Amino acid sequence: MAVKKNTTTTMATKAHKADKKAPTPVQKKAIAKVQKKDISDHDDSQSEDDNEEDKENEEDEENQEQDEEATQEDTANGNNNESEPSNVTFKDLGLMQPLVDACEQLKFKAPTEIQRESIPWSLQGRDIIGLAQTGSGKTAAFALPILQALWNNPSPMFACVMAPTRELAVQISETFESLGSTIGVRCCVIVGGMDMMAQSIALSKKPHIIVCTPGRLQDHLENTKGFSLRTLKYLVLDEADRLLDMDFGPIIDQILKVIPKERNTFLFSATMTTKVAKLQRASLNNPVKVEVATKYSTVSTLLQYYLFFPLKSKDSYLVYLLNELAGNSTIVFSRTCNDTQRITLLLRNLGFPAIPLHGQLSQEKRLGALNKFKSGNRNILIATDVASRGLDIPSVDIVLNYDLPNNSKDYIHRVGRTARAGRSGKSITFVTQYDVEVYQRIEQALSKKLEEFPTDKDAVMLLQERVAEAQRFAITELKEQHASRGKGGRGGNKRLFNADDNDRDDDSVQAGGYKSKSGAARGNRQGKKMRK
Ligand SMILES: Nc1ncnc2c1ncn2[C@@H]1O[C@H](COP(=O)(O)OP(=O)(O)OP(=O)(O)O)[C@@H](O)[C@H]1O
């Protein structure tokens, strides 16, 4: 095993010894503050009706239940509890010098509240349930103690971090690599949509940290010769409430059967389930619940708005807003892959630099879309909820909920793609005559009424004709894509949007609009430009 022990060995050894000793005053303070939340004494959730779990097979009921849970919890806990200023340093938390240095290199001036409150516990070897707002640094909160433990007791397959989406897994791995750069950590990403053989080879090289999506991990556990997680010391479920829900829960159950019971388990999310049965799925051992926010709180730097209009005007409002907010980096969330694709085509027809991200694209295209958006090559990402959790793209200014999310949890995660790490951001949620009930549940969960985003309705109406024309072109293009896939195109019907024509690498964004290398504003067939 080759965790690089460098010149900081002495300091590391000291830090390690310090860990084994009594907690420092700062640790004591943090521990005292959190002690009251020790889940072993914190069984308010146990009073919840276990029968509610039985309802989980029906999605609508689950959504409703989540929203009801939100309302109850908010009433019980009050509101937002954002980080107070603190002089505590990473060193004070008991972290060894190489990790303190890595934080410095990443320009982390001081630990965030979830880091301050959870890291001392994690270093003490406790299991953690960590709840903190979106963009509050939860990844480092679980990564730093694992890296320290790895340094102290190096072994392959030391930790496994599970995430609900492939893109998030890649991002978490990058965080481990940058925080662990000073100690030579080796990470491996195991996600669906990528070559199994290449992953098997990567696993055979005995990485320290495996970051994965559950389905692909299970696949390797069952089918990759010589691969096991017998030496695993840490298991992390990031976006734990999602991983413990009915989609992923059964796979997690299977995985838990084949990993050591003697391990540490960390559950982290911005929205956590209080259902004991769900938490028990993760087989926690005397966990500490570290809550630095109420379950459904958003950060104060996020300005949230709604817009109410009839369904038929939805695309016109979208185009109007993107015109008004031109120059901002924007994520537009829609409900289905098909609509994501349709909206992208519509916007491209009007000259907007939009790029789609959804589950029916090949993994290569998903990562490509994300990279183009991250790099600013495209500044409008049209996405399904595949992009709603965890993705950390500091440049995002605006989140537009074109379609309402299914429940309040998804709302919290979606709008949390902006206003991260103390930055400001805006979210605008479209509400039509069919969405009022769901929208009201979201407001109830947030415990506040959102303001209406100011618009010039006459200007929106003036756009209608051109938008209608672009809609027709988009539908025709979409039908052509479906037809070409149906005629034996790559991927057949299952992967309707795999082909290059949906995510053209030959496109280039030129000042003021979206153009192809062929010269004319591609897709802008009307020769009109909507962008300002
Ligand atoms: N102590 C710190 N000081 C400054 N920035 C930090 C610190 N810790 C983490 N960050 C940065 O904050 C951003 C958000 O962190 P991270 O992605 O871990 O948030 P999160 O809480 O997991 O959010 P989400 O709930 O959306 O997944 C990242 O860009 C990360 O590099």
Domains, the chain, in order of start with CATH, read 90-291 (3.40.50.300), 302-481 (3.40.50.300)
More confident residue, 292 or 35: 292
DSSP state of 417: T
What is the helix (H) or strand (E) element at residue 461, kind and residue range?
Answer: helix 457-486
Listed range (32-46, 60-74, 287-301, 397-411) with the worst mean pLDDT: 32-46
3 state DSSP class of 452 = strand
In this prediction the ipTM stands at: 0.99
* pLDDT at 532 > cutoff 90: no
> Is the CB of 164 inside a 6 Å radius of any atom of ligand 1?
no
Angle of helix 25-35 relative to helix 113-123, nearest 10 degrees, comes to 100
Rounded Cα gap, residues 323 and 332, in angstroms: 14
> Is the CB of 140 inside a 6 Å radius of any atom of ligand 1?
yes
**Hey, whose CA ends up nearest to atom 1 of ligand 1?**
111
Q: Are 338 and 358 in contact (CB under 8 A)?
A: no
Q: Which atom of ligand 1 is nearest to the CA of 134?
A: 25
Nearest to 502 by CA among 412, 329, 369, 383: 369
> Is the CB of 116 inside a 6 Å radius of any atom of ligand 1?
no
> Which residues, in sequence order, are bridge partners of residue 398?
330, 426
Q: Which atom of ligand 1 is nearest to the CA of 111?
A: 1
How many angstroms is it from 394 CA to the middle of ligand 1? 10
Q: Which atom of ligand 1 is nearest to the CA of 115?
A: 1
> Is the CB of 390 inside a 6 Å radius of any atom of ligand 1?
yes
How many angstroms is it from 49 CA to the middle of ligand 1? 35
More confident residue, 92 or 6: 92
> Is the CB of 130 inside a 6 Å radius of any atom of ligand 1?
no
* pLDDT at 11 > cutoff 80: no
More confident residue, 33 or 391: 391
Average pLDDT over residues 171-182: 97
Tell me the pLDDT tens digit for each residue of 241-286: 999 998 999 999 999 999 999 999 999 999 987 776 677 778 899 9
**Hey, whose CA ends up nearest to atom 30 of ligand 1?**
137
Q: Is 38 left (phi over 0), alpha (psi -120 to 50) or beta?
A: beta
- The pTM of the full predicted model, rounded to 2 decimals, is 0.81
Nearest to 172 by CA among 216, 140, 127, 214: 140
Share the mean pLDDT of the chain. 81
Instruction: State the maximum Cα–Cα separation within the chain, in Å, rounded to a whole number.
Output: 72
pLDDT of residue 276: 67
**Hey, whose CA ends up nearest to atom 3 of ligand 1?**
108
Tell me the pLDDT tens digit for each residue of 324-337: 999 999 999 999 99
